[in-house]
Amino acid sequence: MPDLLESTDPSRGDRALEGPLVRAPLSLVNGARIANKSESLEAKDSAAAELGPKTGPPVLFFDRVSRWYGPVIGVNGVTLELRSGITGLVGHNGSGKSTLMRLAAGHLRPDLGAVLVEGRQAWTAEAKRHVGYCPELDTYYEEMSGRRFIQCMARLSGFSRAEARSRGDEVLELVGMADRAQRPLAGYSKGMRQRIKLAQALIHDPKLLLLDEPLSGIDPIGRRESIQLFHKLAGRGKCLLISSHELEELEKLTDHVAIMAAGRIAAVGPLTQIRDLLDDHPLSIRVASDQNKVLATALLDCDDVVGLDRLPDDALLVRARNPRRFFQRLTELVISEHLEISHLESLDESTHDVLGYLLGGKS
Amino acid sequence: MTGSRAFFYLILLSWQRQARAHLMLWIAGGLLAFAAFLVLANTWNGRWNMSYWRVPGGGGVTYGDQIRAFAMARDLPLAGSAASVTQLAWSTQRLVVDDASGFFVFSNRIVFFLFTTFLMPLWTLSFATEGLGREREAGNLVWVLSRPLSRPAIYLAKFLAAVPWCLALNMGGFALLCVLAGWPGILALAIYWPAVLMGTLALASLFHFLGAFARRASVVAILYAFFLETIAGNLPGHLKRLSISFYTRCLMFEQAHEFGIQPERPSIYLPVSGSFAVTVLATVSIVLLVAGAWIFARKEYLELT
């Protein structure tokens, strides 16, 4: 029986991949880049990055992709290249993660730009041969057993009945569902359903795995096993894009993340670099109080304030590094100087807000 | 090879899953049972003739009464030629009303009115909207769309999976009703089955199209079947030309022309020729299938998230 992780798609038969499989280094070729509103919104493709060895075409390539839902923009000028390895995709609800996933899975088409999987438009059947998609959606053919569902997915991928059976058994073993796969899907727990979802994404041995919240609902042991599996797959040269709300969860998987905010890739690269940049990068804040002069004097004494301007409406425009520390200091000032703040607004909200939220507890 | 293997498997899988359309199946089965009961009751009571029809309609005597009157007149001691005329009138009317009118009555009451404008659209939609519509509503269409199958192939496979069910229900249901009616029904089956086949394919194409593009496709299809097929299809004027059952019936009229079957008032019904009806039904089937596949290839299902 061929090793599932080494066998190829049905169009090429059940041949094993030629040559030894080498774990691709997950290095960030272009380095981590972080962009605030004033920078990134001007340069549409500012957050481009490549993961994995920079040889051959990328497995997944977003080329200045924009996608609207009527008047609302879901993804805004995203350029992203992924090769082998694991990339975490993190961001607020509504930040565009799922839209990005669905564009890559070929369920949505970009309004502008192109999404390519192995050089083919993601929308096409040829591209889907290389994609394993694990959606967040939790509906199955409920009347079927887990095993039958997986075999169906294998047959819909073009495998013969015998191949579907053997591959189905392999992936079920891989996701730890071999002994429970006979039961109807309708009776599965959330964790079991997640594993089945993962199994169907793996059944045709795709090069690109798009996993939307794959660990949600899985028990701790299952999580550990799944994380090991993801690492194993990445080590086999697969490209995994894993979305999650939780950065902590993703950190166990990979150091490389793409952070989405307001439909843009706000930052992409190693998490440590993103954190360092965030702390060093000045944040623009508009603040007004009943005693602006006192406030300005006090703020100029703060180490984290790198610039201060008076706006036409008498409010202050403060440029500060390390937002968390700055806001902590501002709070202290308000209390000690008995200031009444009438206006406080972060002008780099789209980026810093989400990054601050996501990374705040980690530095 | 792998593509065609996946395509044929999708047909098989969809065909199997169609059987799980419990609610619609129960509704279709219930309607079939009701219609079968109606036909059987008429057969048992010998109602497949015009003897109980009143002339003039409403308060007149029945054809049966007329025959009985002629029978009584036949027994009167009439002179030679008068007796012959009475005998001729009795036997002619009996032949027409009692023996030959069964096919006409069955066609009018069951085939044209109940089956073509009501049962056939409803039975067809119960399967044809399910192929894509139900999976879309349930959210599990995502699994098929994620497989390496082209969108037109998915659309076509789902259609091909639904057609056997639609044909089985329509042709099988029609055959059952015909057989239960006795000889008028068996004659109707022999004459009308091509029209039922053509009508079923056209309706299946239409409802499959609706299933792919309309939210709550079953509801939309039921509304369509009720308003356009059942109501508008029976109205005078040109509006009924939008209904598939109109062309099905026109084809039936032509096929049964030699048996004297025609619309009650042709000048109001404005039938089209059989060849035109066949052309329309075939064109609707093909155009909707091709257009559906083309649009489905570009359609995004935002609800599948």
| B27-72 residue pLDDT tens | 888 999 999 999 999 999 888 877 777 777 677 777 777 777 777 7
pLDDT value for A105: 94
Distance CA B143, CA B138 (A): 11
Check CB contact under 8 Å for B2 and A159. Answer: yes
The pTM of the full predicted model, rounded to 2 decimals, is 0.78
pLDDT value for A51: 47
pLDDT value for B135: 85
CA separation, residue A324 to residues A259, A321, A328, B23, B248 (Å): 19, 9, 6, 58, 75
Search chain B and give the residue with CA nearest A124. Answer: B150
Q: How confident is the model at residue B305 (pLDDT cuts 50, 70, 90)?
A: low
Distance CA A315, CA A323 (A): 19
Cβ count within 10 A of residue B266: 10
Q: Quick check: B302 pLDDT over 80?
A: no
Search chain A and give the residue with CA nearest B145. Answer: A107
Q: How confident is the model at residue A359 (pLDDT cuts 50, 70, 90)?
A: low
B6, B140, B150 member nearest A157 (Cβ) = B6
Which residue in B112, B283, B280 sits closest to B196, CA to CA? B112
List the structure tokens of A122. Answer: 């993601």
Average pLDDT value for residue range B207-211: 92
Check CB contact under 8 Å for A105 and B146. Answer: yes
pLDDT value for A156: 96
Distance CA A57, CA A128 (A): 17
List the structure tokens of A295. Answer: 């406030």
Q: How confident is the model at residue A134 (pLDDT cuts 50, 70, 90)?
A: very high
A131, A139, A156 member nearest B138 (Cβ) = A139
The interaxial angle of helices A146-156 and A161-174, nearest 10 deg, is 130
What is the predicted ipTM? Answer: 0.80
A133, A139, A143 member nearest B139 (Cβ) = A139
How many helices (DSSP H) and strands (DSSP E) are in chain A? 12, 16
Residue for token digits 């905010």?
A: A261
Distance CA B58, CA B70 (A): 21
Q: Quick check: B231 pLDDT over 90?
A: no
Please state the domain extents for chain B. Answer: 2-48+101-304, 60-99
Check CB contact under 8 Å for B142 and A135. Answer: yes
CA separation, residue A183 to residues A142, A149, B27 (Å): 10, 11, 30
Per cent of chain B over pLDDT 90 is: 42
Which residue in B151, B142, B3 sits closest to A101, CA to CA? B142
Average pLDDT value for residue range A284-300: 89
- Kind and range of the H or E element at A190? helix A190-202
List the structure tokens of A61. Answer: 């390539």
- What is the least distance, in Å, from the CA of B174 to any CA of chain A? 31
Per cent of chain A over pLDDT 90 is: 35
Residue for token digits 């509304």?
A: B223
Residues 6+ apart with CB under 8 A from B118: B225, B229, B230
- The DSSP bridge partners found for residue A241 are A87, A210
Window from A2-6, B2-6, B117-121, B176-180 with minimum mean pLDDT: A2-6
SS3 of A266, please? strand
Check CB contact under 8 Å for B140 and A11. Answer: no
Average pLDDT, chain B: 86
Search chain A and give the residue with CA nearest B305. Answer: A137
Which residue in A207, A168, A178 sits closest to A83, CA to CA? A207
Residue of higher predicted confidence among B110 and B214: B110
Q: What is the pLDDT of residues B88-99, one digit of tens each?
A: 777 777 666 666
